[in-house]
Amino acid sequence: MTTGPSARTSGAPRSFVVHTLGCPKNQVDSDKLVGMLVADGLSPAHDTAEADMVVVNTCAFVEEARQESIDAILALAEAKAPDASLVVTGCLAERYGDELAEALPEVDRIAGFGMTLTADLAAAAPSRRGAPPVPAAISSRRSPDPDAVAARHGRSARPVAVEPRHAGPVRPVAVEAPIRRPARPVPEFDLLNLPRPRSPRPWAYVKIAEGCDRACGFCAIPSFRGPQRSRTVEQILAEVEQLDAAEIVLVAQDLASYGRDQGRGERRIVPLVEAVSARVSRTRLLYLYPSDLNDALIDAICATGVPYFDLSLQHVSRPLLRRMRRWGDGERFLARIEAIRRRAPEAAFRSNFIVGYPGETEDDHDRLLRFVEEAQLDWCGFFAYSEEAGTHSATLAGKVDEALRAERLAELGEMQDAITAGRRDLLIGRRVEVLVDEPGVGRTHREAPEIDGIVNVPTALAAGTFAEVTVTAAAGCDLEAA
Ligand code: SF4
Protein backbone atom coordinates (compact mmCIF):
# COMPACT_ATOMS: atom_id res chain seq x y z
CA MET A 1 0.00 0.00 0.00
CA THR A 2 1.31 3.39 -0.89
CA THR A 3 -0.31 6.76 -0.79
CA GLY A 4 0.25 10.42 -1.23
CA PRO A 5 0.24 12.02 -4.63
CA SER A 6 3.46 13.42 -5.87
CA ALA A 7 4.89 13.65 -9.36
CA ARG A 8 8.38 12.28 -9.71
CA THR A 9 11.07 14.84 -10.24
CA SER A 10 14.73 14.67 -11.08
CA GLY A 11 17.48 15.85 -8.72
CA ALA A 12 16.82 15.92 -5.01
CA PRO A 13 14.19 13.39 -3.98
CA ARG A 14 10.74 14.89 -3.53
CA SER A 15 8.68 11.78 -3.05
CA PHE A 16 9.26 8.43 -1.46
CA VAL A 17 7.95 5.01 -0.56
CA VAL A 18 9.15 2.88 2.33
CA HIS A 19 9.01 -0.91 2.15
CA THR A 20 9.28 -2.73 5.45
CA LEU A 21 10.49 -6.22 6.21
CA GLY A 22 10.84 -8.03 9.48
CA CYS A 23 9.33 -7.60 12.89
CA PRO A 24 7.01 -5.06 14.54
CA LYS A 25 9.98 -3.13 15.83
CA ASN A 26 11.01 -2.52 12.24
CA GLN A 27 7.53 -1.21 11.49
CA VAL A 28 7.96 1.34 14.26
CA ASP A 29 11.26 2.43 12.72
CA SER A 30 9.57 2.75 9.34
CA ASP A 31 6.80 4.88 10.80
CA LYS A 32 9.46 7.15 12.20
CA LEU A 33 11.37 7.25 8.93
CA VAL A 34 8.17 8.30 7.20
CA GLY A 35 7.59 10.98 9.82
CA MET A 36 11.12 12.26 9.37
CA LEU A 37 10.93 12.32 5.57
CA VAL A 38 7.58 14.12 5.61
CA ALA A 39 8.95 16.61 8.12
CA ASP A 40 11.85 17.12 5.73
CA GLY A 41 9.39 18.12 3.03
CA LEU A 42 9.16 14.92 1.00
CA SER A 43 5.79 13.50 0.02
CA PRO A 44 4.57 9.93 0.02
CA ALA A 45 4.36 8.63 -3.56
CA HIS A 46 1.43 6.68 -4.98
CA ASP A 47 3.59 3.65 -5.62
CA THR A 48 7.13 2.48 -6.15
CA ALA A 49 7.27 3.40 -9.82
CA GLU A 50 6.35 7.02 -9.07
CA ALA A 51 8.71 7.61 -6.16
CA ASP A 52 11.93 9.60 -6.41
CA MET A 53 13.33 7.62 -3.53
CA VAL A 54 12.57 4.02 -2.63
CA VAL A 55 13.56 3.03 0.91
CA VAL A 56 13.85 -0.60 1.97
CA ASN A 57 13.89 -1.15 5.74
CA THR A 58 15.49 -4.57 5.98
CA CYS A 59 15.65 -7.46 8.42
CA ALA A 60 18.76 -9.54 9.10
CA PHE A 61 17.59 -11.84 11.82
CA VAL A 62 18.26 -15.16 10.16
CA GLU A 63 19.39 -16.34 6.75
CA GLU A 64 15.83 -16.60 5.46
CA ALA A 65 15.09 -13.04 6.52
CA ARG A 66 18.31 -11.78 4.92
CA GLN A 67 17.49 -13.49 1.64
CA GLU A 68 13.98 -12.03 1.72
CA SER A 69 15.46 -8.59 2.24
CA ILE A 70 17.85 -9.04 -0.66
CA ASP A 71 15.09 -10.37 -2.90
CA ALA A 72 13.02 -7.33 -1.99
CA ILE A 73 15.89 -4.95 -2.78
CA LEU A 74 16.44 -6.56 -6.18
CA ALA A 75 12.74 -6.57 -7.00
CA LEU A 76 12.40 -2.92 -6.03
CA ALA A 77 15.46 -2.01 -8.09
CA GLU A 78 13.52 -3.30 -11.08
CA ALA A 79 10.20 -1.79 -10.08
CA LYS A 80 11.42 1.73 -9.37
CA ALA A 81 11.80 4.43 -11.99
CA PRO A 82 15.23 4.36 -13.66
CA ASP A 83 16.35 7.66 -12.15
CA ALA A 84 14.88 7.08 -8.69
CA SER A 85 17.20 6.46 -5.74
CA LEU A 86 17.25 3.17 -3.91
CA VAL A 87 18.14 3.40 -0.23
CA VAL A 88 18.66 0.37 2.00
CA THR A 89 18.39 0.80 5.76
CA GLY A 90 17.61 -1.32 8.81
CA CYS A 91 19.36 -4.34 10.29
CA LEU A 92 20.84 -5.69 7.06
CA ALA A 93 22.34 -2.30 6.25
CA GLU A 94 23.74 -1.99 9.75
CA ARG A 95 25.13 -5.46 9.91
CA TYR A 96 26.34 -6.06 6.36
CA GLY A 97 26.67 -2.57 4.94
CA ASP A 98 30.06 -3.07 3.28
CA GLU A 99 29.10 -6.40 1.75
CA LEU A 100 25.84 -4.97 0.41
CA ALA A 101 27.54 -1.93 -1.08
CA GLU A 102 29.91 -4.21 -2.93
CA ALA A 103 27.36 -6.79 -4.02
CA LEU A 104 24.46 -4.52 -4.99
CA PRO A 105 25.58 -1.70 -7.29
CA GLU A 106 21.92 -0.83 -7.93
CA VAL A 107 21.67 0.52 -4.38
CA ASP A 108 22.40 4.24 -4.14
CA ARG A 109 22.78 4.49 -0.41
CA ILE A 110 23.25 2.10 2.50
CA ALA A 111 22.10 3.80 5.68
CA GLY A 112 22.82 2.06 8.98
CA PHE A 113 21.03 2.95 12.19
CA GLY A 114 20.79 6.65 12.78
CA MET A 115 22.09 7.65 9.35
CA THR A 116 20.10 10.08 7.28
CA LEU A 117 18.41 8.56 4.26
CA THR A 118 18.76 11.45 1.87
CA ALA A 119 22.43 12.42 2.22
CA ASP A 120 24.40 12.04 -1.00
CA LEU A 121 21.21 11.84 -3.03
CA ALA A 122 21.49 15.28 -4.56
CA ALA A 123 19.42 16.04 -1.59
CA ALA A 124 19.12 19.44 -0.02
CA ALA A 125 15.81 18.69 1.55
CA PRO A 126 13.58 21.68 2.12
CA SER A 127 13.45 23.07 5.59
CA ARG A 128 11.61 21.14 8.23
CA ARG A 129 7.97 21.89 8.56
CA GLY A 130 5.58 21.43 11.44
CA ALA A 131 3.59 18.40 12.37
CA PRO A 132 3.41 16.00 9.45
CA PRO A 133 0.13 14.78 8.02
CA VAL A 134 -0.75 11.13 8.28
CA PRO A 135 1.44 9.35 5.76
CA ALA A 136 0.67 5.91 4.58
CA ALA A 137 3.50 5.40 2.20
CA ILE A 138 4.68 2.28 3.83
CA SER A 139 4.20 -0.61 1.54
CA SER A 140 4.56 -3.31 4.05
CA ARG A 141 3.63 -6.85 4.30
CA ARG A 142 5.51 -7.32 7.42
CA SER A 143 6.01 -10.53 9.15
CA PRO A 144 5.49 -11.17 12.76
CA ASP A 145 8.79 -11.90 14.24
CA PRO A 146 10.56 -14.73 15.83
CA ASP A 147 12.02 -13.52 19.07
CA ALA A 148 11.81 -10.16 20.17
CA VAL A 149 14.11 -10.01 18.17
CA ALA A 150 14.32 -10.26 16.29
CA ALA A 151 14.73 -10.91 17.19
CA ARG A 152 12.63 -12.82 17.21
CA HIS A 153 11.87 -14.22 20.30
CA GLY A 154 10.48 -16.46 17.76
CA ARG A 155 7.81 -15.86 15.31
CA SER A 156 7.35 -16.83 11.75
CA ALA A 157 9.38 -15.26 9.05
CA ARG A 158 6.90 -14.40 6.40
CA PRO A 159 7.73 -12.31 3.45
CA VAL A 160 7.63 -9.21 3.11
CA ALA A 161 7.38 -5.88 1.63
CA VAL A 162 7.22 -6.39 -2.06
CA GLU A 163 3.92 -6.49 -3.79
CA PRO A 164 3.59 -9.62 -5.91
CA ARG A 165 3.70 -7.77 -9.16
CA HIS A 166 7.13 -6.53 -8.20
CA ALA A 167 8.53 -9.94 -7.56
CA GLY A 168 11.78 -10.17 -9.41
CA PRO A 169 14.59 -12.58 -9.99
CA VAL A 170 16.52 -13.88 -7.06
CA ARG A 171 20.20 -13.20 -7.09
CA PRO A 172 22.32 -14.90 -4.48
CA VAL A 173 24.27 -12.39 -2.47
CA ALA A 174 26.70 -13.51 0.17
CA VAL A 175 26.16 -11.74 3.43
CA GLU A 176 27.68 -14.30 5.67
CA ALA A 177 30.51 -12.22 6.97
CA PRO A 178 31.15 -12.92 10.61
CA ILE A 179 29.23 -10.84 13.07
CA ARG A 180 31.41 -8.35 14.72
CA ARG A 181 30.77 -6.13 17.65
CA PRO A 182 30.21 -2.78 16.01
CA ALA A 183 33.56 -1.23 15.15
CA ARG A 184 32.00 2.10 15.94
CA PRO A 185 29.81 2.74 18.94
CA VAL A 186 26.09 2.20 18.46
CA PRO A 187 24.84 5.62 17.31
CA GLU A 188 23.54 7.88 20.01
CA PHE A 189 21.16 9.26 17.44
CA ASP A 190 18.85 6.40 16.74
CA LEU A 191 15.26 6.03 15.80
CA LEU A 192 13.80 6.07 19.26
CA ASN A 193 12.70 9.66 19.46
CA LEU A 194 12.15 10.74 15.90
CA PRO A 195 8.81 12.31 15.04
CA ARG A 196 6.05 9.88 14.29
CA PRO A 197 2.73 10.48 12.59
CA ARG A 198 -0.69 9.78 14.02
CA SER A 199 -1.54 6.12 13.57
CA PRO A 200 -3.57 5.41 10.44
CA ARG A 201 -4.93 2.31 12.20
CA PRO A 202 -6.74 1.93 15.54
CA TRP A 203 -3.61 0.33 16.98
CA ALA A 204 0.10 1.12 16.92
CA TYR A 205 3.38 -0.33 18.05
CA VAL A 206 5.48 1.74 20.43
CA LYS A 207 9.10 0.81 20.96
CA ILE A 208 10.10 1.46 24.55
CA ALA A 209 13.74 0.45 24.41
CA GLU A 210 16.38 -0.44 21.88
CA GLY A 211 19.05 -3.11 22.18
CA CYS A 212 19.44 -5.97 24.64
CA ASP A 213 21.68 -6.79 27.59
CA ARG A 214 21.21 -10.54 27.45
CA ALA A 215 23.43 -13.01 25.64
CA CYS A 216 21.16 -15.77 24.36
CA GLY A 217 23.23 -18.36 22.56
CA PHE A 218 21.41 -18.18 19.23
CA CYS A 219 20.96 -14.44 18.98
CA ALA A 220 23.08 -11.85 17.19
CA ILE A 221 20.88 -8.89 18.05
CA PRO A 222 23.02 -7.45 20.87
CA SER A 223 26.02 -7.46 18.52
CA PHE A 224 24.46 -4.97 16.16
CA ARG A 225 21.60 -3.38 18.09
CA GLY A 226 23.88 -2.74 21.05
CA PRO A 227 23.07 -2.79 24.77
CA GLN A 228 19.64 -1.87 26.05
CA ARG A 229 18.77 1.81 26.01
CA SER A 230 15.38 2.62 27.49
CA ARG A 231 13.40 5.67 26.54
CA THR A 232 12.06 7.86 29.27
CA VAL A 233 8.46 7.51 30.40
CA GLU A 234 7.81 11.06 29.16
CA GLN A 235 9.08 10.27 25.66
CA ILE A 236 6.98 7.14 25.47
CA LEU A 237 3.82 8.82 26.75
CA ALA A 238 4.29 11.72 24.36
CA GLU A 239 4.46 9.26 21.48
CA VAL A 240 1.42 7.36 22.75
CA GLU A 241 -0.59 10.58 22.79
CA GLN A 242 0.71 11.61 19.37
CA LEU A 243 -0.36 8.28 17.86
CA ASP A 244 -3.91 8.67 19.19
CA ALA A 245 -4.65 4.94 18.86
CA ALA A 246 -7.15 2.85 20.80
CA GLU A 247 -4.62 0.05 21.28
CA ILE A 248 -0.94 0.50 21.98
CA VAL A 249 1.36 -2.49 21.56
CA LEU A 250 4.57 -2.05 23.54
CA VAL A 251 7.62 -3.68 21.97
CA ALA A 252 11.32 -3.99 22.73
CA GLN A 253 13.92 -6.69 22.44
CA ASP A 254 13.43 -7.55 26.12
CA LEU A 255 10.32 -5.71 27.23
CA ALA A 256 10.20 -6.61 30.92
CA SER A 257 13.74 -5.31 31.39
CA TYR A 258 12.61 -1.83 30.46
CA GLY A 259 14.40 0.79 32.51
CA ARG A 260 17.10 -1.44 33.99
CA ASP A 261 19.77 0.45 32.09
CA GLN A 262 18.50 3.65 33.68
CA GLY A 263 18.35 2.46 37.26
CA ARG A 264 15.17 1.88 39.18
CA GLY A 265 12.59 4.46 40.14
CA GLU A 266 9.98 5.50 37.64
CA ARG A 267 11.73 3.82 34.72
CA ARG A 268 10.36 0.38 35.34
CA ILE A 269 7.94 -1.62 33.29
CA VAL A 270 5.06 -1.72 35.81
CA PRO A 271 4.58 2.05 36.24
CA LEU A 272 5.05 2.45 32.51
CA VAL A 273 2.30 -0.07 31.75
CA GLU A 274 0.05 1.70 34.25
CA ALA A 275 0.75 5.11 32.73
CA VAL A 276 0.14 3.95 29.15
CA SER A 277 -2.97 2.09 30.18
CA ALA A 278 -4.39 5.24 31.80
CA ARG A 279 -4.24 6.91 28.37
CA VAL A 280 -5.51 4.28 25.95
CA SER A 281 -8.26 1.68 25.91
CA ARG A 282 -5.94 -1.25 25.29
CA THR A 283 -2.30 -1.77 26.25
CA ARG A 284 -0.65 -4.93 24.98
CA LEU A 285 2.86 -6.16 25.75
CA LEU A 286 4.95 -8.28 23.39
CA TYR A 287 8.09 -10.28 24.21
CA LEU A 288 8.34 -11.05 27.90
CA TYR A 289 11.45 -12.90 29.05
CA PRO A 290 10.00 -15.46 31.50
CA SER A 291 12.23 -14.74 34.50
CA ASP A 292 10.96 -11.17 34.63
CA LEU A 293 7.29 -12.03 34.63
CA ASN A 294 6.75 -11.42 38.35
CA ASP A 295 3.50 -10.98 40.25
CA ALA A 296 3.58 -7.19 40.02
CA LEU A 297 3.89 -7.32 36.23
CA ILE A 298 1.19 -9.97 35.95
CA ASP A 299 -1.14 -7.80 38.03
CA ALA A 300 -0.32 -4.75 35.93
CA ILE A 301 -1.01 -6.63 32.69
CA CYS A 302 -4.31 -7.99 34.01
CA ALA A 303 -5.30 -4.52 35.19
CA THR A 304 -4.98 -3.14 31.65
CA GLY A 305 -7.92 -5.30 30.60
CA VAL A 306 -5.74 -7.08 28.05
CA PRO A 307 -4.65 -10.30 29.79
CA TYR A 308 -2.42 -11.34 26.91
CA PHE A 309 0.91 -12.92 27.78
CA ASP A 310 3.52 -13.21 25.07
CA LEU A 311 6.22 -15.30 26.70
CA SER A 312 9.56 -15.76 25.03
CA LEU A 313 10.26 -19.33 26.14
CA GLN A 314 12.37 -20.80 23.29
CA HIS A 315 12.47 -24.29 24.81
CA VAL A 316 11.53 -26.17 27.97
CA SER A 317 14.42 -28.61 28.42
CA ARG A 318 16.58 -27.27 31.23
CA PRO A 319 19.92 -28.53 29.86
CA LEU A 320 19.10 -27.21 26.41
CA LEU A 321 18.02 -23.84 27.81
CA ARG A 322 21.36 -23.61 29.58
CA ARG A 323 23.09 -24.29 26.27
CA MET A 324 20.98 -21.44 24.95
CA ARG A 325 22.19 -19.36 27.90
CA ARG A 326 18.64 -18.80 28.98
CA TRP A 327 16.69 -19.06 32.21
CA GLY A 328 14.01 -21.51 33.27
CA ASP A 329 12.56 -24.89 32.45
CA GLY A 330 9.21 -26.39 31.50
CA GLU A 331 8.04 -26.95 35.07
CA ARG A 332 8.58 -23.35 36.05
CA PHE A 333 6.92 -22.14 32.91
CA LEU A 334 3.87 -24.33 33.49
CA ALA A 335 3.60 -23.21 37.11
CA ARG A 336 3.63 -19.58 36.03
CA ILE A 337 1.06 -20.13 33.30
CA GLU A 338 -1.24 -21.94 35.72
CA ALA A 339 -0.86 -19.16 38.28
CA ILE A 340 -1.81 -16.58 35.64
CA ARG A 341 -4.81 -18.64 34.60
CA ARG A 342 -5.97 -18.82 38.22
CA ARG A 343 -5.56 -15.05 38.45
CA ALA A 344 -7.13 -14.33 35.06
CA PRO A 345 -9.13 -17.22 33.57
CA GLU A 346 -9.57 -15.28 30.32
CA ALA A 347 -5.82 -14.88 29.84
CA ALA A 348 -4.45 -15.64 26.38
CA PHE A 349 -0.93 -16.94 25.86
CA ARG A 350 1.53 -16.88 23.02
CA SER A 351 5.01 -18.26 22.92
CA ASN A 352 7.72 -19.27 20.53
CA PHE A 353 10.24 -22.04 20.42
CA ILE A 354 13.41 -22.84 18.57
CA VAL A 355 13.60 -26.33 17.15
CA GLY A 356 16.87 -28.10 16.40
CA TYR A 357 19.22 -25.98 18.52
CA PRO A 358 22.65 -27.67 18.65
CA GLY A 359 22.53 -30.57 21.07
CA GLU A 360 18.73 -30.94 21.05
CA THR A 361 18.08 -34.61 21.78
CA GLU A 362 15.05 -36.79 21.25
CA ASP A 363 14.40 -36.44 24.95
CA ASP A 364 14.51 -32.62 24.71
CA HIS A 365 12.08 -32.76 21.82
CA ASP A 366 9.73 -35.09 23.72
CA ARG A 367 9.77 -32.71 26.66
CA LEU A 368 8.76 -29.88 24.38
CA LEU A 369 5.94 -31.95 22.90
CA ARG A 370 4.67 -32.79 26.38
CA PHE A 371 4.86 -29.16 27.40
CA VAL A 372 2.92 -27.99 24.36
CA GLU A 373 0.23 -30.56 25.05
CA GLU A 374 0.01 -29.65 28.71
CA ALA A 375 0.28 -25.86 28.44
CA GLN A 376 -2.52 -25.51 25.87
CA LEU A 377 -1.28 -22.13 24.76
CA ASP A 378 -3.49 -20.15 22.43
CA TRP A 379 -0.73 -19.36 19.96
CA CYS A 380 2.74 -20.75 19.35
CA GLY A 381 5.46 -20.16 16.82
CA PHE A 382 8.06 -22.85 16.12
CA PHE A 383 11.20 -21.90 14.26
CA ALA A 384 13.97 -23.99 12.90
CA TYR A 385 17.27 -23.10 14.50
CA SER A 386 19.33 -20.97 12.15
CA GLU A 387 23.04 -20.65 12.80
CA GLU A 388 24.17 -17.06 13.06
CA ALA A 389 27.85 -16.37 12.61
CA GLY A 390 29.48 -14.96 15.70
CA THR A 391 26.95 -16.35 18.19
CA HIS A 392 27.70 -18.78 20.99
CA SER A 393 25.57 -21.48 19.38
CA ALA A 394 27.68 -21.39 16.22
CA THR A 395 30.53 -22.82 18.28
CA LEU A 396 28.51 -25.71 19.71
CA ALA A 397 28.75 -29.31 18.66
CA GLY A 398 25.71 -31.49 18.06
CA LYS A 399 24.20 -29.85 15.00
CA VAL A 400 20.77 -31.27 14.32
CA ASP A 401 20.27 -32.67 10.86
CA GLU A 402 18.02 -30.53 8.67
CA ALA A 403 15.62 -33.36 7.90
CA LEU A 404 15.26 -34.14 11.60
CA ARG A 405 14.67 -30.48 12.37
CA ALA A 406 11.92 -30.36 9.74
CA GLU A 407 10.35 -33.51 11.16
CA ARG A 408 10.31 -32.07 14.69
CA LEU A 409 8.92 -28.79 13.45
CA ALA A 410 6.11 -30.53 11.60
CA GLU A 411 5.24 -32.62 14.64
CA LEU A 412 5.07 -29.59 16.92
CA GLY A 413 3.22 -27.49 14.37
CA GLU A 414 0.58 -30.15 13.85
CA MET A 415 0.03 -30.52 17.57
CA GLN A 416 -0.25 -26.78 18.14
CA ASP A 417 -2.57 -26.25 15.17
CA ALA A 418 -5.02 -28.66 16.78
CA ILE A 419 -4.66 -26.96 20.17
CA THR A 420 -5.18 -23.49 18.68
CA ALA A 421 -8.22 -24.68 16.75
CA GLY A 422 -9.63 -26.31 19.90
CA ARG A 423 -9.17 -23.15 21.93
CA ARG A 424 -10.87 -21.11 19.23
CA ASP A 425 -13.78 -23.57 19.15
CA LEU A 426 -14.28 -23.01 22.88
CA LEU A 427 -15.21 -19.41 22.12
CA ILE A 428 -18.18 -20.29 19.92
CA GLY A 429 -21.33 -18.89 21.46
CA ARG A 430 -19.45 -16.46 23.70
CA ARG A 431 -19.99 -12.68 23.78
CA VAL A 432 -16.68 -10.94 23.22
CA GLU A 433 -15.54 -7.36 22.89
CA VAL A 434 -13.67 -6.52 19.71
CA LEU A 435 -11.74 -3.51 18.54
CA VAL A 436 -12.65 -3.03 14.90
CA ASP A 437 -9.41 -2.62 12.94
CA GLU A 438 -11.14 -2.11 9.62
CA PRO A 439 -14.62 -2.86 8.28
CA GLY A 440 -15.24 -6.57 8.77
CA VAL A 441 -12.11 -7.22 10.88
CA GLY A 442 -11.92 -7.09 14.65
CA ARG A 443 -9.76 -8.41 17.46
CA THR A 444 -10.46 -9.33 21.07
CA HIS A 445 -7.74 -9.18 23.72
CA ARG A 446 -6.75 -12.67 22.57
CA GLU A 447 -5.42 -11.57 19.19
CA ALA A 448 -2.38 -9.37 18.76
CA PRO A 449 -2.47 -7.39 15.53
CA GLU A 450 -0.67 -8.91 12.55
CA ILE A 451 0.45 -11.91 14.57
CA ASP A 452 -2.55 -13.94 15.72
CA GLY A 453 -5.92 -14.69 14.17
CA ILE A 454 -8.75 -12.22 13.65
CA VAL A 455 -12.47 -12.00 14.29
CA ASN A 456 -14.59 -11.48 11.21
CA VAL A 457 -17.28 -9.04 12.28
CA PRO A 458 -20.22 -7.33 10.52
CA THR A 459 -18.96 -4.75 8.06
CA ALA A 460 -21.38 -2.17 9.47
CA LEU A 461 -19.17 -1.79 12.55
CA ALA A 462 -17.00 1.29 12.20
CA ALA A 463 -13.23 1.00 12.25
CA GLY A 464 -11.71 2.25 15.48
CA THR A 465 -14.74 1.43 17.61
CA PHE A 466 -15.26 -1.25 20.23
CA ALA A 467 -18.21 -3.59 19.87
CA GLU A 468 -19.77 -6.54 21.65
CA VAL A 469 -20.32 -9.45 19.28
CA THR A 470 -21.23 -13.12 19.56
CA VAL A 471 -18.84 -15.72 18.17
CA THR A 472 -20.75 -17.94 15.75
CA ALA A 473 -18.02 -20.11 14.24
CA ALA A 474 -14.32 -20.81 14.19
CA ALA A 475 -12.09 -21.69 11.27
CA GLY A 476 -8.53 -22.44 12.26
CA CYS A 477 -7.10 -19.25 13.76
CA ASP A 478 -10.00 -17.00 12.86
CA LEU A 479 -13.44 -16.52 14.34
CA GLU A 480 -16.76 -15.49 12.82
CA ALA A 481 -18.95 -13.20 14.88
CA ALA A 482 -22.31 -11.50 14.54
S1 SF4 B 1 19.81 -11.79 23.40
FE2 SF4 B 1 18.02 -13.01 24.02
S3 SF4 B 1 16.60 -11.57 25.01
FE4 SF4 B 1 18.13 -10.34 23.85
S5 SF4 B 1 17.18 -10.00 21.84
FE6 SF4 B 1 18.41 -11.86 21.66
S7 SF4 B 1 16.97 -13.54 22.07
FE8 SF4 B 1 16.02 -11.66 22.85
* CATH number, position 466: 2.40.50.140
* C-alpha span between 447 and 455 (Å, rounded): 9
Distance 89 CA to ligand 1 centre (A): 21
pLDDT at 176 over 50: no
Q: What is the pTM of this model?
A: 0.77
- Ligand 1 atom nearest 314 alpha carbon: 7
Nearest C-alpha neighbor of 354 from the set 62, 24, 23: 62
pLDDT in tens, 217-273: 999 888 888 899 999 999 999 999 999 999 999 999 999 999 988 765 556 899 999
Q: Once rounded to an integer, what is the mean pLDDT over residues 269-290?
A: 96
Q: Once rounded to an integer, what is the mean pLDDT over residues 464-468?
A: 98
Q: Is residue 110 assigned to a domain?
A: yes
pLDDT at 40 over 90: no
Task: Please report, for the domain that includes residue 36, its CATH number.
Answer: 3.40.50.12160
pLDDT at 90 over 70: yes
Q: Is the CB of 388 under 6 A from ligand 1?
A: no
Of 88, 120, 141, which marks where a domain is finished?
Answer: 141
Q: Whose CA is nearest to atom 2 of ligand 1?
A: 216
Q: Is residue 355 assigned to a domain?
A: no
Best of 25, 208, 219 for a ligand 1 pocket test (most atoms within 8 Å of beta carbon) = 219
Q: Is the CB of 289 under 6 A from ligand 1?
A: yes
pLDDT at 254: 93
pLDDT at 417 over 90: yes
Q: Is residue 86 assigned to a domain?
A: yes
- Ligand 1 atom nearest 219 alpha carbon: 6
pLDDT at 198: 80
Q: Once rounded to an integer, what is the mean pLDDT over residues 18-32?
A: 83
The Cβ-side half-sphere exposure at 199, using a 13 Å CA radius, reads 22
Best of 224, 254, 322 for a ligand 1 pocket test (most atoms within 8 Å of beta carbon) = 254
Percent of the chain with pLDDT over 90: 60
* C-alpha span between 237 and 232 (Å, rounded): 9
pLDDT at 127: 29
Q: How confident is the model at residue 409 (pLDDT cuts 50, 70, 90)?
A: very high
pLDDT at 376: 98
pLDDT at 116: 74
Q: Is residue 38 assigned to a domain?
A: yes
Q: Is residue 477 assigned to a domain?
A: yes
Of 141, 176, 204, which marks where a domain is finished?
Answer: 141
pLDDT at 356: 98
pLDDT at 150 over 50: no
Q: Is residue 293 assigned to a domain?
A: no
Q: Once rounded to an integer, what is the mean pLDDT over residues 424-452?
A: 97
Mean pLDDT rounded to a whole number for the chain: 82
Of 124, 141, 158, which marks where a domain is finished?
Answer: 141
Q: Is residue 390 assigned to a domain?
A: no
Q: In this predicted structure, which of 68-72, 186-190, 287-291, 472-476 has the lowest mean pLDDT?
A: 186-190
Q: In this predicted structure, which of 216-225, 348-357, 373-382, 389-398 has the lowest mean pLDDT?
A: 216-225
Q: Beta 455-456 vs 478-481: how paired, if at all?
A: parallel
Q: Is the CB of 219 under 6 A from ligand 1?
A: yes
**Residue span of the structural domain in which 118 resides:** 1-141
Q: Is the CB of 257 under 6 A from ligand 1?
A: no
Which of 104-108, 145-149, 472-476 shows the highest mean pLDDT?
Answer: 472-476
pLDDT at 120 over 80: no
Q: Is residue 89 assigned to a domain?
A: yes
Best of 216, 257, 327 for a ligand 1 pocket test (most atoms within 8 Å of beta carbon) = 216
- Ligand 1 atom nearest 151 alpha carbon: 5
The count of domains in the chain is 2
- Sign for the CA dihedral angle at 142, 474, 466, 303 comes to negative
Question: Could you tell me which residue, 129 or 369, shows the higher pLDDT?
Answer: 369
Q: Is the CB of 253 under 6 A from ligand 1?
A: yes
Distance 349 CA to ligand 1 centre (A): 19
Q: Is the CB of 286 under 6 A from ligand 1?
A: no
Q: Whose CA is nearest to atom 6 of ligand 1?
A: 219
